[in-house]
Structure 1
Amino acid sequence: MVAGPVQPERELDQPVDIALPNGRLNPAAVGWSRHPVQGINLKGWGRNKRFEYWCITSPDLIVALNISHGDYRVTLASFFYDRATGEAVPEAEIHWLPNNDRASMPGQTGRDDAVGKGERMQIAMRINKTGTRLTGETSRLKADIQVHEAPGHESLNVLVPWDSKRFQFTRKDNCLPASGWVELDGRRYTLDVGSAYATLDHGRGRWPYSIVWNWASGSGRSDGRELGLQFGGKWTEGTPSTENALKIDGRLHKISQELEWRYDRADFMKPWQILGDQVDLTFTPEYDRYSNFDRLIVRSKEHQCFGTFAGTVTDNDGKRYRVADVYGWAEEVARRW
Structure 2
Amino acid sequence: MATHEREIVDPVDLCRPDGSLDPAAVGWSRVPVHRANLRGWGRTKRWEHWCVTTPTHLVALTVSDLDFLALNSVYLLEFGSWGREFEHAAIVPFGRGVRLPDRIAGPPGVADVVVGPARPTGGQVRIEIRDEAGGVRLRGRCLTPDRLPVDIDLLVARPEGHESLNVVVPWDARRFQYTSKQTALPATGRVRIGAERLEFGAGESWAVLDHGRGRWPRTVDWNWGAASGRSDGRTLGLQFGGRWTEGTGSTENGVCVDGRLTKIGEELDWRWSTTDPLAPWTIRTTASDQVDLVFTPFHNRSSHTDLGLLANHTDQRFGHYDGRVRTDDGTEIAVRDLLGWAEDVRMRW
TM > 0.5 fold call:
yes
1:249 alignment counterpart: 258
Check conservation: 2:161, 2:259, Cα contact below 8 A: no
2:330 is equivalent to residue 318 of structure 1? yes
SS at match of 2:347: strand
SS at match of 2:143: coil
CA shift digits 1:148-207 (9 cap, x unpaired): 111222110000000000000000001011101001233110111210000000000001
Quick one: which amino acid aligns to residue 27 of structure 2? G
1:133 alignment counterpart: 137
SS at match of 1:104: coil
Aligned counterpart in structure 2 of residue 10 of structure 1, from 6, 11, 15: 6
Aligned counterpart in structure 2 of residue 91 of structure 1, from 88, 93, 102: 88
Quick one: distance in 2 between partners of 1:237 and 1:158? 14
Task: For structure 2, list consecutive stretches of 5 or more residues without a partner in the other structure.
Answer: 145-149
Check conservation: 1:130, 1:150, Cα contact below 8 A: no
Check conservation: 1:73, 1:96, Cα contact below 8 A: yes
2:147 alignment counterpart: none
Check conservation: 2:105, 2:130, Cα contact below 8 A: no
Q: How does 1:233-312 map to 2 (within 5 A)?
A: 233-276=242-285, 277=288, 278-312=290-324
2:32 is equivalent to residue 36 of structure 1? yes
Check conservation: 2:239, 2:255, Cα contact below 8 A: yes
Q: How does 1:147-226 map to 2 (within 5 A)?
A: 147-226=156-235
* Alpha-carbon shift at residue 39 of structure 1 (Å): 1.0
Quick one: distance in 2 between partners of 1:264 and 1:199? 25
Quick one: distance in 2 between partners of 1:139 and 1:196? 24
TM-score, length-normalised on structure 2? 0.92
Quick one: distance in 2 between partners of 1:194 and 1:213? 31
Runs (4+) of structure 1 exceeding 6 A deviation are none
2:126 alignment counterpart: 122
Quick one: distance in 2 between partners of 1:36 and 1:336? 28
2:104 is equivalent to residue 109 of structure 1? yes
* Alpha-carbon shift at residue 299 of structure 1 (Å): 0.4
CA shift digits 1:68-97 (9 cap, x unpaired): 001210111111111143211111110112
Quick one: distance in 2 between partners of 1:296 and 1:264? 28
Check conservation: 1:76, 1:94, Cα contact below 8 A: yes
Quick one: which amino acid aligns to residue 348 of structure 2? R
Deviates more, 1:176-185 or 1:163-172: 176-185
Deviates more, 1:78-87 or 1:195-204: 78-87
Check conservation: 1:7, 1:240, Cα contact below 8 A: no
Quick one: distance in 2 between partners of 1:335 and 1:93? 19
The two structures, once aligned, show a CA RMSD in angstroms of: 1.2
SS at match of 1:193: coil
2:16 alignment counterpart: 20
Quick one: distance in 2 between partners of 1:268 and 1:232? 19
SS at match of 1:164: coil
Quick one: distance in 2 between partners of 1:98 and 1:154? 32
* Alpha-carbon shift at residue 297 of structure 1 (Å): 3.0
Check conservation: 2:52, 2:208, Cα contact below 8 A: yes
SS at match of 1:151: coil
CA shift digits 1:12-65 (9 cap, x unpaired): 000110111111010111000000011111011121100000001101211000
Quick one: distance in 2 between partners of 1:284 and 1:261? 13
TM-score, length-normalised on structure 1? 0.95
* Alpha-carbon shift at residue 249 of structure 1 (Å): 1.1
Task: For structure 1, list consecutive stretches of 5 or more residues without a partner in the other structure.
Answer: 1-5
Aligned counterpart in structure 1 of residue 54 of structure 2, from 36, 44, 58: 58
* Alpha-carbon shift at residue 296 of structure 1 (Å): 3.2
The number of equivalent residue pairs is 330
Quick one: distance in 2 between partners of 1:333 and 1:184? 30
Identity of aligned residues (%): 45
Check conservation: 2:126, 2:142, Cα contact below 8 A: yes
